[in-house]
Structure 1
Amino acid sequence: MYAPERQQQILRLARDSGRVEVLSLAEEFQVTAETIRRDLKQLDRAGLVRRVHGGAIPAGRLDFEPDLAERESTAADEKDRIARAALAELPEGGTVLLDAGSTVARLAECVPLDRTLTVVTHALPAAFRLADHPGIALHLVGGRVRQRTRAAVDAWALGAYGQVRADVAFLGANGFSAAHGLTTPDLAEAAVKRAVIAAARRVVLLADSAKHGQEHFARFGDLADVDLLITDSGLGPEDAAALTAAGTDVVRA
């Protein structure tokens, strides 16, 4: 079977079932997993599917949201590099807001033990990583906790962020682009992210390069709302230059 024929069948399977897996496709078509990954990459570039950990989903599924375990295992090396680069943005003795997100949680995990900060977060994974830190005055924002992300949302969370002002906010996103701004699948989480942006003097977006160009159901801001994007070297120099020209500084870790 030629590659275009196989890709057409993969696209049909993705649209029929809502998701396809690399290993099952390799078995079905009797090819290697790497061949399937190349097929999915081509379909992704054509805008027909969107690659996710272990497979792909149809491009029209703007509401798709991977669970926390899947997000934490996706692009792990890239997220670690981004988190280490973000340490340079921590203020000395200041106040920090930590958004929900697997990369932001990695930042929380690697805050040096000799650092003194006030941290406000609605994200349980970030709070868990900082709860025993000797230099952190930790404030946990309450609300309804979404099981998929372990993040508090709705009125309690929005009200809490409306009462604080921070030096810097570290933000997560499921997708970012100059054209569509900052997006995430859930409206309630989008509302909290907007509140986090509004509560900080400086906003730093932590997002791996696979999220560039992606768009999701709920839009919560423009790239102009972000002072600095820290991503990985998978974001090409031309794309980084375009984002910088749009007004957002870019660090490729």
Structure 2
Amino acid sequence: MLTSQRKQRILEQLAVDGQVVSKTLSETFGVSEDTIRRDLRELSAEGLLQRVHGGALPASAAIAPFAERKTLALDSKRAIARRGAALIEPGQVVIIDGGTTTAELVACLPHSLELTVVTHSSSIALALADHPHIEVITIGGRLYKHSLVAVGAAAIEGIAKVRADLFFMGVTGVHCEAGLSTGDYEESCVKRAFASRAAETVVLASAEKINTASRWVIGDVSLVNTLVVERSLEESLTAPFAARGIAIIRA
């Protein structure tokens, strides 16, 4: 079997099973584990999968630049955002992460809502500028241009002074075993810091993020209290999260 054919078979199996194991692939194709690891390394470099210890998981499609992600799964993001916005109570302190789904969340907030929003996203802050009853607290730091958010030591220091009711966390991958992940190391640190300062963490997850992984781990799925997904998502995909005690809300 040619290398290209083997790689295609690996991707096909990954699509069906949701993960592949290097040892099993080695036995299936009758090649060494070193050969399989090289295949996975090359496929990872092409962005076609995410390598993990012992094998690989599907790569998240939500790691494209911000402008491209704005149009990805737009209808499902809007439905999920509307359902997420319904979780907010007047008078709360709410952390809103950067991202395209959280941008849709902000668009759902009524102008009559009294709220304090903490964010490290300049685009989220600007979207709330004309809301007369929403106080906006911005967290500063170095601008991470891919997601248009502040990161770094200054951001972490500012976050340490926050005590919030809810945190709407943006992620690129949600996997019951591999955890919550994103495409940038510093961004993962900021998200983890925010989660530690909120009573509850909510993840708004469109279908392309479920059971996928990105390069940098934010933390275990136990960081999440509520997962908001689209109504059509298969029960089999959400059941492992529900078994971990995570509330599943369908939009």
- Do they superpose with TM above 0.5? yes
Q: Does the Cα contact within 8 Å between 1:109 and 1:126 map onto a contact in 2? A: no
- The aligned counterpart of 1:204 is 202
Q: Residues 209 and 234 of structure 1 are in contact (CA less than 8 Å); yes or no, is this contact kept in structure 2?
A: no
Does 2:65 match 1:75?
no
SS of 2:171's equivalent in the other structure is: coil
User: How far 1:41 sits from its partner (Å)?
Assistant: 8.1
Three-state SS of the structure 1 residue aligned to 2:150 is: strand
Q: Is this contact kept in 2: 1:99–1:171, CA < 8 A? A: yes
Q: What is the aligned counterpart of 2:181 among 175, 180, 183?
A: 183
Give identity over the alignment, percent.
36
CA shift for structure 1 position 43: 6.6
RMSD: 2.7
Match of 1:59 in 2: 49
Aligned pairs, number: 216
Q: 1:183 to 1:93 in 2, by over 3 A?
A: same
Q: 1:158 aligns with which of 153, 156, 159?
A: 156
Deviation readout 1:78-125 (Å, 9 max, x if unpaired): 000001001221122110001111111111111001100000000122
The alpha carbon displacement at 1:241 in A equals 2.2
Quick one: which of 122, 129, 132 aligns to 2:130? Answer: 132
1:229 to 227, 231, 238: 227
Contact 2:166 2:198 in 1 (8 A): yes
- Give the CA deviation at 1:45: 3.5
For structure 2, the residue ranges without an aligned partner over 5 or more in a row are 21-45, 52-58
The residue that corresponds to 1:167 in the other structure is 165
Indicate if the aligned counterparts of 1:63 and 1:217 stay in contact, CA closer than 8 A. no
Aligned pairs for 1:32-47 (under 5 A) are 44-45=15-16
Match of 1:98 in 2: 96
Q: Secondary structure at the match of 2:136?
A: strand
Task: Tell me the CA shift for residue 246 of structure 1.
Answer: 1.1
Q: Residues 162-220 of structure 1: CA distance to partner in whole angstroms, max 9, x if unpaired?
A: 01100111111000011111000110000000011001011111111211111111101
Preserved contact between residue 230 and residue 250 of structure 1 (Cα < 8 Å): yes
Pick aligned residue for 1:110 from 105, 108, 111: 108
* Cα distance, 1:41–1:207 mapped onto 2, change above 3 Å: farther
1:152 aligns to what SS in structure 2?
strand
Q: Give the 3-state SS of the residue equivalent to 2:86 in structure 1.
A: helix
Asked if the contact 1:203/1:227 (under 8 Å) is kept, the reply is: yes
Q: Distance in 2 between matches of 1:149 and 1:186?
A: 10
Using the size of structure 1 for normalisation, the TM-score is: 0.78
Instruction: Measure, in 2, the Cα distance between the counterparts of 1:41 and 1:110.
Output: 39
Structure 1 unaligned runs (5+)? Answer: 13-39, 49-55
Q: Choose between structure 1 and 2 for higher RCO, CA contacts under 8 A separated by at least 6 residues.
A: 2
Letter in 2 for 1:216: S
**2-structure distance, mates of 1:63, 1:229:** 17
Relative to structure 1, is the Cα distance of residues 231 and 41 closer, same or farther in structure 2, using a 3 angstrom cutoff? farther
